[in-house]
């Protein structure tokens, strides 16, 4: 005969016991990629399909292999010297080409406002360009498309929304006291970063 202890069972043990008593049902099979409905925009489909060829971007010298663009200057130099390697323009460089003189697709927008003088504006422009160069060396898909400099305001458009956020955070870190706002879209629209200089 087994003696019952006077201690109560903890609620956690009870819930675990109840879960183990629930009969397991068969889960529905997940859809394959071909069966799933196509909801991605056309530019995303173009990027996700990928290509098995070896391509060198004629503008930024990025190399396309393993279904992704890579920054590798040494490899690009060797490939450009060898015959038979395809040359093309990557998606980001084509966005930069299209941006000459008109509105273009972009994924990130940075608005730097209320800049008091030209000296501060030059420092901010140098910082923005340096952040863009660093991002480009890490990933050729992170590029600054255009920098528009107007009186007391700078507008930067980028190919990736994360780059826009990085630019805004770097400027806010360098010039303390300003107001930084990051506005993410709920849909597939650009991220907007707004930074106001301290008053």
Give residue 72's pLDDT: 80
Helix (H, G, I), strand (E, B) or coil at 32: coil
Give residue 137's pLDDT: 86
Stretch 73-97: mean pLDDT, rounded? Answer: 82
Q: Does the pLDDT of residue 26 top 50, yes or no?
A: no
Where are the chain's structural domains?
48-89, 98-196
Pairing of β 68-70 and β 55-57: unpaired
CB 131 within 8 A of CB 108: no
150-179 CB burial, b ≥16 within 10 A, e <16: eeeebebbbbbbebbbbbbebbbeebeebe
Q: Does the pLDDT of residue 88 top 50, yes or no?
A: yes
Stretch 145-166: mean pLDDT, rounded? Answer: 90
CB 141 within 8 A of CB 91: yes
Q: Indicate the CATH number of 98-196 among 1.20.120, 3.30.300, 3.40.50, 3.30.70.
A: 3.30.70
pLDDT band at residue 195 using 50, 70 and 90 as cut-offs: very high
């Amino acid at each position: 005969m087994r003696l019952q202890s006077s201690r109560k069972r903890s609620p956690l043990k009870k819930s675990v016991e109840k879960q183990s008593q629930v009969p397991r049902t068969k889960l529905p099979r997940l859809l394959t990629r071909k069966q799933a409905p196509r909801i991605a925009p056309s530019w995303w489909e173009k990027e996700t399909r990928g290509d098995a060829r070896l391509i060198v971007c004629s503008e930024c010298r990025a190399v396309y292999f393993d279904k992704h663009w890579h920054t590798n200057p040494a490899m690009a130099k060797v490939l450009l010297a060898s015959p038979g390697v395809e040359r093309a323009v990557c998606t980001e460089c084509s966005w930069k080409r299209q941006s000459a003189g008109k509105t273009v697709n972009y994924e990130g927008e940075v608005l730097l406002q209320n800049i008091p003088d030209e000296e501060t504006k030059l420092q901010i422009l140098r910082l923005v360009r340096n952040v863009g160069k660093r991002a480009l060396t890490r990933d050729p898909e992170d590029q600054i498309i255009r920098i528009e400099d107007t009186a007391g305001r700078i507008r930067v458009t980028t190919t990736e929304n994360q780059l826009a956020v990085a630019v805004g955070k770097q400027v806010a870190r360098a010039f303390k006291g300003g107001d930084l706002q990051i506005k993410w879209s709920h849909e597939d629209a650009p991220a907007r970063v707004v930074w106001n200089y301290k008053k």
